[in-house]
Amino acid sequence: MGSASEILPSIESLKSLDEIEQLATKKLSKRAWSFNYAAAGDLISKQLNTDVYRSILLRPRVFIDVSKCDLTTTIMGHKVGLPIFISPMAMARLAHPTGEAGISEACRALGVMHMISNNASMTPEQIVAGASPDQIFGFQLYAQKERKESEALMARVNQIKEIKCIVLCIDEPVPGKHELGTGLNAYMGMNPLGPPTPDPAGVSVAVPSVSGPASDLTWEGTLEWIAAHTDLPVILKGLQTHEDARIASGFAQVKGIVLSNHGARVLDTAPPAIHTLLEIRKYCPEVFDKVEVTVDGGIRRGTDVVKALCLGAKAVGIGRAALWGLGAGGVAGVERTLQILADEIKTTMQLLGVHRIEDLGPQHVNARIVEQQIYDAR
């Protein structure tokens, strides 16, 4: 959206995710920018997703040897280079022709897990085609009204060895209300306001739904159905209360949960993931021993990642930031996004006096301001 004569900065010169978003905003079409930027309602949850991290303070320790710092960890038992994963984001080819395969290529360079969107603009086979032998992926699944659609997709995913888990998205039984730009339905042929307007670049969902996402899912029935069609571990994405986290942890099929308000795209004034994480710590800490707990939404700095890890998250997801990187500079833009976060995570850990991810804990943060804001279960 920048002027033709404007001289834009190089990817290598960008120092923060904010600068990457600013560059992407100048380079993307208004339609692509709107698709990535949009959130539900008045964008209150979207802003809170970021602001909540600003209310958590770090507690640096000194006189500790941090000359070596290891950022590796595991997700679902698989080693990754950073405690970061790419959250499922639809329609990446709106940002750049390399699309989701470009994100995958950037992830390969830094050892980052990529959760592929059910609504990706490339097929899962195309997205993993250039993966390294040790690269891992998850696959986000929306259960469709006509379950046979999802069953066929699971059968297809089961054959892709790079995909290590099914990420069942459960926080959008009905679409949220967006008031900015074109929503996903237009690209799937399900625009309630009329027929879809084809994107000028010919971008569409690679594996479109015919029947549409289901709104009749239940705990027992859905998880039994999933287990009947895949042996892959199941991660539930979109939990926003400690009550649901406790329920999820009681099912043998569920190996992980992602605390998420869907990037604030579904229900405005829904809580940020950090609130839910603190709820779990307060009301049902046993959940951390039963399932892997991860979070996403609002990450702008490596300090944000470290704060979530200190409070019990196993890893932290980024969504919009990956597409801003893609829009700013293709594969190199996503790599720069991840490298900035990696550098900031390392520096933060060293200044806290920590040299391994597993040594981060609640003693390294002061979250009292946010703790006052979480749900009171009394």
Report CA-CA distances (Å) from 254 to 138, 259, 281, 322.
14, 14, 19, 27
104 annotated ligand binder: no
122 annotated ligand binder: no
262 annotated ligand binder: yes
How many C-beta atoms lie closer than 10 Å to residue 41's C-beta? Answer: 18
| Region of residue 195 (left: phi > 0; alpha: psi -120 to 50; beta: else) | beta
76 annotated ligand binder: no
299 annotated ligand binder: yes
How many C-beta atoms lie closer than 10 Å to residue 295's C-beta? Answer: 29
Query: Which residues fall within 8 angstroms of residue 93, CB to CB, at 6 or more apart?
Result: 99, 100, 121, 122, 201, 203
47 annotated ligand binder: no
320 annotated ligand binder: yes
300 annotated ligand binder: yes
262 is catalytic: yes
Beta strands of the chain (E only): which ranges? Answer: 57-58, 73-75, 78-80, 84-86, 113-116, 137-141, 163-169, 234-239, 254-259, 292-296, 316-318, 365-366
User: For residues 253 and 232, what is the distance between their CA atoms, to the nearest angstrom?
Assistant: 9
Per the residue annotation, which of 114, 178, 229, 262 is the catalytic one? 262
83 annotated ligand binder: no
Tokens 């698989």 -> residue: 78
Amino acid present at 250: G
181 annotated ligand binder: no
- The first and second tokens of residue 68, run together, are 């070596």
154 annotated ligand binder: no
343 annotated ligand binder: no
3-state secondary structure at position 294: strand
- List residues forming the annotated binding site: 88-90, 117, 140, 142, 237, 260, 262, 265, 296-300, 319-320
Q: Which residues are catalytic?
A: 262
- List residues forming the annotated binding site for glyoxylate: 142, 260, 262, 265
